[in-house]
């Protein structure tokens, strides 16, 4: 997927249905807004989708709510508010660059987080909205987000993604054999599928963050000797005091699940060797593709992977007819 694909994906009702059926996500935001919206305040809902967060803010006592979305679906959000007799939400079909408001706002709320936070590339636009429209002393929901990685010790994932390496049907698939092992996957992992040693990849403060990070780095001493077949990543968002939205294997299941970062070869860890994990969020290439990179290393070994490393023929447009 490329950056330009995301607005069109949100014209699909099934995408909004999936998010609203995520009760953990949606109720956490409702609870947070009930806590932090002050009667008579102004709220900006960035990337409003169906407008559900705008409605929550209005119900919590906001005097004015500004709902912004670059998808044409925002017309549906406006109609939903009208059908529910909510009249203090103003809808803007704009992005972070074209939006113009005559006022600053007291609170910015946004459900901008993609899989492992960065998948939908909304963080940079959110920061520009913050810099342009948040009043001094204003609030952000969420206010901070922490990132974590698990060391996956379940061999199932490696066996499944190594399918082409096994010469199925007695056919040599070498040309594509490693591609599944260089692609991220969305998985719902169980706590027993990762080691107890979780890698802390840092915390982003939405009040002070100047730009999305280009690399996340964390270190951990493994709790035991084990073979690692993949990494998995998740985030935890602080929406309001005591309202935390977690998306890890130990948390209630959300539509985010976790991102699985496969390893091309098994990696043995030991308590006597500190492990370093590096994950670079998607960076747009010249072709517009979004590519992740990840690595794991200790004093004995290193594995580095990019999900854009695959046979060039997979992306090449071929002429019709007989190939040379």
Domain spans of the chain, in order of start: 3-141, 145-312
What is the reported pLDDT for 6?
A: 45
Residue 185 · residue 156 · CB < 8 Å: no
- Tally: H helices and E strands in the chain: 7, 15
What is the reported pLDDT for 13?
A: 87
What is the reported pLDDT for 10?
A: 57
- 117 DSSP β-pair partners: 114
Please state the pTM of the whole predicted model: 0.92
Residue 268 · residue 228 · CB < 8 Å: yes
What is the reported pLDDT for 313?
A: 65
Q: What is the pLDDT along the chain (324 residues), one digit of tens a residue?
A: 444 444 455 568 888 899 999 999 999 999 999 999 999 999 999 999 999 999 999 999 999 999 999 999 999 999 999 999 999 999 999 999 999 999 999 999 999 999 999 987 899 999 999 999 999 999 999 999 999 999 999 999 999 999 999 999 999 999 999 999 999 999 999 999 999 999 999 999 999 999 999 999 999 999 999 999 999 999 999 999 999 999 999 999 999 999 999 999 999 999 999 999 999 998 766 666 678 999 999 999 999 999 887 776 666 777 788 888
What is the reported pLDDT for 324?
A: 80
| CATH tag, 3-141 | 3.40.50.150
What is the reported pLDDT for 7?
A: 46
Neighbour-count burial for 237-270, b at 16+ CB within 10 Å, e otherwise: bbbbeebebbbbbebeebbbbbbbbbbeeebebe
Q: What is the SS3 assignment for 7?
A: helix
Distances in whole angstroms, Cα of residue 103 to Cα of each of 94, 106, 132, 177: 16, 10, 10, 56
Distances in whole angstroms, Cα of residue 16 to Cα of each of 58, 93, 118, 176, 243: 20, 17, 19, 34, 23
| CATH tag, 145-312 | 2.70.160.11
What is the reported pLDDT for 3?
A: 45
């Amino acid at each position: 997927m490329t950056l330009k694909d995301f607005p069109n994906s949100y014209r699909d009702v099934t995408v909004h249905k999936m998010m609203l059926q995520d009760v953990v996500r949606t109720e956490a935001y409702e609870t947070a807004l009930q806590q932090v919206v002050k009667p008579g305040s102004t709220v900006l809902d960035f990337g409003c989708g169906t407008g559900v967060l705008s409605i929550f803010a209005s119900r919590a006592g906001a005097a004015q709510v500004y709902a912004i979305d670059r998808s044409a679906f925002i017309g549906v959000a406006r109609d939903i508010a009208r059908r529910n007799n909510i009249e203090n939400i103003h809808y803007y079909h704009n992005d972070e660059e074209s939006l113009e408001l005559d006022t600053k706002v007291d609170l910015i709320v946004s459900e901008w987080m993609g899989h492992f936070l960065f998948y939908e590339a909304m963080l940079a636009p959110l920061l520009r909205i913050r810099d342009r429209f948040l009043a001094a002393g204003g609030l952000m929901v969420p206010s901070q987000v922490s990132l974590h990685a698990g060391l996956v010790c379940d061999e199932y994932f490696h066996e499944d993604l190594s399918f082409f390496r096994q010469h199925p049907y007695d056919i040599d698939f070498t040309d594509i054999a490693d591609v599944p092992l260089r692609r991220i996957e969305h998985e719902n992992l169980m706590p027993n599928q990762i080691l107890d040693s979780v890698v802390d990849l840092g915390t982003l403060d939405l009040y002070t963050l100047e730009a999305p990070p280009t690399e996340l780095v964390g270190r951990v001493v493994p709790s035991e000797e084990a073979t690692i077949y993949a990494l998995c990543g998740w985030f935890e968002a602080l929406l309001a005091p005591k309202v935390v939205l977690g998306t890890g294997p130990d948390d209630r299941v959300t539509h985010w699940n976790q991102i699985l970062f496969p390893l091309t070869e098994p990696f043995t860890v030991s308590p006597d060797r500190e492990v370093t994990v590096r994950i670079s969020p998607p960076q747009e290439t010249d072709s517009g593709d979004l590519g992740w990179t990840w690595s794991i290393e200790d004093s004995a070994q290193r594995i580095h992977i990019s999900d854009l490393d695959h046979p060039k023929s997979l992306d090449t447009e071929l002429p019709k007819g007989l190939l040379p």
